[in-house]
């Protein structure tokens, strides 16, 4: 069991969130408005695949599901890298079972640049950290990455994409990723539930899908403590 990009970002927001994802995912509640935003983000990402013209997409699903077949995606990616395919979308990489799928890889004279697509009007710090995780994995797979970009949405349909260079900042997160990825790997395998007090991480940078579970528990503990005092 390794760490994916999503695992890493959720685990860095809250360790308990990652543990619940792995051991008690049935407790998550995704509000309709969040689901709509996720769907809109996927739609924006699909449109962005064609921003450089023709492309090859690596996505493969397990039969009868919407679960990515990582082994086939990894194999497809390696084949297209050997072929020198100019634009590869959802390119998959794995290092010690830690995994990421890059939105867009664009070939250069010395390797590839990569583009992380976000349905947002601006670059946020969590986007750069996200890209930093991906670069960490890709670099350890031996692919030379030149520049790293965050693609945000433009003002209108005539200018739908804004390309933001975050190379220096994203590559600068390598040590931070290395310091945390192995701890998160160990944490997600623990049998006992992680104890993390509720706090700012419950809503920052995103509201946790286990918010009500953790806060209901917190309220119950407070009531029990109050009962003991009276």
How many whole angstroms separate alpha carbon 203 and alpha carbon 9? 14
The pLDDT value given to residue 33: 86
Q: What is the pLDDT of residue 104?
A: 98
Q: What is the pLDDT of residue 229?
A: 41
Supply the pTM of this predicted model. Answer: 0.90
- 180 and 12 Cβ atoms separated by less than 8 Å: yes
Per-residue pLDDT, 159: 86
What pLDDT score does 157 carry? Answer: 82
From first to last of its 230 residues, what are the pLDDT tens digits of the chain? Answer: 799 999 999 999 999 999 999 999 999 998 888 889 889 999 999 999 999 999 999 999 999 998 999 999 999 999 999 999 999 999 999 999 999 999 999 999 999 999 999 999 999 999 999 999 999 999 999 999 999 999 999 888 888 999 999 999 999 999 999 999 999 999 999 999 999 999 999 999 999 999 989 987 544 434 333 334 43
Q: List, in order, residues 6 or more apart from 179 with CB less than 8 Å away.
A: none
**Domains annotated on the chain, with CATH:** 5-229 (3.90.320)
Cis? peptide before 205, omega within 30° of 0? yes
Q: How far apart are the first and last CA of the chain?
A: 47
Nearest C-alpha neighbor of 27 from the set 208, 229, 225, 227: 208
Structure confidence at residue 217 (pLDDT):
56
Packing angle between helix 5-13 and helix 15-23, nearest 10 degrees?
A: 130
* Rounded Cα gap, residues 118 and 93, in angstroms: 20
């Amino acid at each position: 069991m390794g760490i994916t990009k999503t695992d890493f970002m959720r685990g860095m927001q809250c360790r308990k969130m990652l543990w619940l994802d792995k051991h008690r995912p049935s407790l998550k509640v995704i509000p309709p408005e969040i689901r709509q935003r996720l769907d809109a983000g996927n739609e924006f990402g699909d449109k962005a695949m064609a921003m450089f013209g023709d492309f090859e997409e690596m996505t493969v699903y397990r039969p009868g599901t919407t679960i990515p077949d990582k082994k086939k995606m990894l194999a497809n990616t390696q084949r297209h890298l050997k072929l020198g395919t100019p634009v590869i979308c959802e390119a998959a990489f794995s290092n010690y079972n830690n995994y990421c799928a890059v939105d867009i890889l664009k070939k250069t004279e010395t390797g590839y640049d990569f583009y992380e697509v976000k349905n947002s009007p601006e670059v946020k710090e969590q986007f750069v950290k996200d890209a930093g995780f991906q670069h960490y994995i890709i670099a350890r797979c031996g692919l030379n990455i030149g520049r790293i970009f965050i693609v945000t949405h433009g003002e209108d349909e005539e200018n739908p994409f804004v390309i933001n260079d975050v190379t220096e900042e994203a590559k600068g997160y390598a040590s931070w990723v290395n310091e945390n990825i192995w701890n998160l790997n160990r944490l997600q395998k623990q049998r006992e539930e992680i104890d993390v007090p509720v706090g700012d991480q419950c809503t920052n940078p995103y509201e946790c899908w286990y918010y009500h579970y953790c806060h209901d528990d917190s309220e119950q503990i407070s009531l029990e403590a109050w009962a003991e005092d009276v």
